[in-house]
Every structure is written in C-alpha cells, then in structure tokens.
Amino acid sequence: ESDAAYASKLLAKAQEVYEDSLSAKLKFDRADYNLSELYNSTCMYDDLGWAAGWLFKATKEHKYLEDVYTHYVDYLEEEGSSTAWKKAFDWDNVFWPTNILMAQETRNSTFIRHSEDFLRSWMCANNAANYTRR
C-alpha cells in the first residue's frame, strides 16, 4: 500500500536533514560524546555521498548527483590510500555501497568498475569462489 502524503513528508525531512548536514560540515560523532565512544566516524564524505545518492534516486534532481560526485572526490582525498584495502560496509564506511547505488542509477563506468571490485573482494580466495556471471 502507498501513502504519497507520508512519503512526501519523509522525503522533505530527509532533504532538510541533508541540507543541515552540509551546513554543519562536522563528523557526527563530534556532536555527541556518547557517539564518539561507540561509533567513531573517520570521514563524513562517504555519509554525505550516500545521502545524496539516495536523494538522487528518490527525486532525480541533478543537484544531488552533482553532490555525489563532489563528496566522492572529497572522500578519496581525505581517505587516500586506505580506500584500496578498506572494503567494508558498516557505520563507518558507505563509500563502496554508494558506488553500487550510483552504478545502478547512472551506469557510470567508474561506479560500475568500483562496484565490481568491491563485490569481488567479498568472494573468497580472490575470486576463486564459484559464481554466476550475469
């Protein structure tokens, strides 16, 4: 069942939170001592890119796609060489899942290549696991 009015309200709130996050430009854990003890964040740009990606998917507004690209570059600049080996999907890293989301939404070759690299890294013994190619 669909509730367009409620969905619209949630989307508006998501956009508001995203805009607030852009203006704050802080790691979320700095705002709350308890968060810094439990879920320390090493970088905010993957989170902002993830949010912009989902807002692009929901709205198709190119402003959000442009933001994804900006946060993507900012993430790579801040995280540097750790990006190559830090292939995780957890509270501290949504860079790789952002690639998958954006590969689906844009068909951009960089997002596709990085998504394939990420997914292969999860297979045992460096791609030795059996899988079916699509």
State residue 1's pLDDT score: 64
pTM of the model: 0.80
Tokens of 34: 């308890």
- Tens digits of per-residue pLDDT, 80-127? 766 666 677 777 789 889 999 999 999 999 999 989 988 887 765 455
**Measured distance CA(6)–CA(100) in Å, rounded:** 27
What are the pLDDT digits (tens) for 23-51? 876 555 555 655 566 666 778 899 999 99
pLDDT: which is higher, 25 or 15: 15
Neighbours of 51 (CB within 10 A): 22
Strand partners, 90: 93
